[in-house]
Amino acid sequence: MTDPTATIATNPDAPLTADAEASHSGLRLDRFLSDRLPSLSRTRVQALIKQGHVALGGATIMDAKYRVKPGMHFEVTLPPPAPATPQAQAIPLAVVYEDDALIVIDKPAGLVVHPGAGNADGTLVNALLAHCGTSLSGIGGVVRPGIVHRLDKETSGLLVVAKTDRAHRALAAEFADHGRSGALERSYLALVWGAPPRTKGTINAPVGRHPTSRIKMAVLAAGKGRDAVTHYHVLATFGRAGGDRQGPVASLVECTLETGRTHQVRVHLAHIGTPVIGDPLYGQGFKTKLTLLPEPLRGKLALLHRQALHAARLSFTHPVSGTLLKFNRDLPPDLAEIVQAFKEL
């Protein structure tokens, strides 16, 4: 029996085809298309279906709940991008690398990636609209930079953005694969309370929406959340929390992602009892540790108004040239200063 397929075309001469396994049959149409076309979010797919841009055998399908069966062949046509809603703003950017296809940014803490509730402007997208001009990806439905992955507002570090639709599709597919068959690698440096149980280890625990808080994620029981895997390596430990039996006060940990769930590093580190220092969502119970620390470290931590998390390493295959690109960024000054203070305990 023929497997279902999905073809997405910006014009008849340049179709892109994604073949699905037969196991995808029975899925809702919106989920099937978003799974097979990683450059399109499920929300974007639902909008395209509703607007009549999805066809089966020449017949328009406008029901997002339509069930996919083996042998079906869907065509998705992307309409021309609408004008950008965000406004270009001359916000300084720390550009690590840039060419005609993409740009790599060292994002500072405090900068939101894209406009949203409570952040109508002053975001990375606003800055990129000013920096990139007309060279922008429209794959997201508007003429704006192609945001392939995100960092939390208060997480600093490396982030790649597509400047063309071709680059966006290729990078989105690479990130969706999570490095299983490609060169993608993402690593974070985290300053955490205490120390993990082992110097090296793997946290394999499903992550999903917190059952009672809409702004938090949580480790959930098997089948309740999405697979999430984080590999960690303790780089350094600092001080003692009242004797050898209680272990280190804090640790510097490198975390490498095998999946890319929302808040994954923060949730996983808190799950094993070592939350990221300064994390307002997952490290609240460790605030009392501040009172036990000497000055000037206590004062420096009190002034740290963000989680001590930095996207330090990013590797991926260039979507046009096929070249392996590798980027590294040391801890920014605010975190490096705190690490140095911990070393002096």
* Closest C-alpha among 301, 224, 220 to residue 264: 220
Q: What span, in angstroms and rounded, lies between the C-alpha atoms of 330 and 56?
A: 50
- Residue 253: how many CB atoms within 10 A of its CB? 25
Residues in the chain, overall count: 345
Q: What span, in angstroms and rounded, lies between the C-alpha atoms of 250 and 22?
A: 49
Cα 136 to the chain's mean position, in Å? 20
Would you please indicate which residues are annotated as catalytic (active-site) residues? 152
Give the Å distances, CA to CA, from 261 to 95, 186, 204, 335: 25, 13, 12, 24
Q: What span, in angstroms and rounded, lies between the C-alpha atoms of 111 and 150?
A: 11
Q: Which residues pair with 142 in a beta bridge?
A: 82
Residue located via tokens 């590798």: 326
* Closest C-alpha among 284, 278, 280, 281 to residue 342: 278
Handedness of CA 9, 161, 185, 250 (dihedral sign): negative
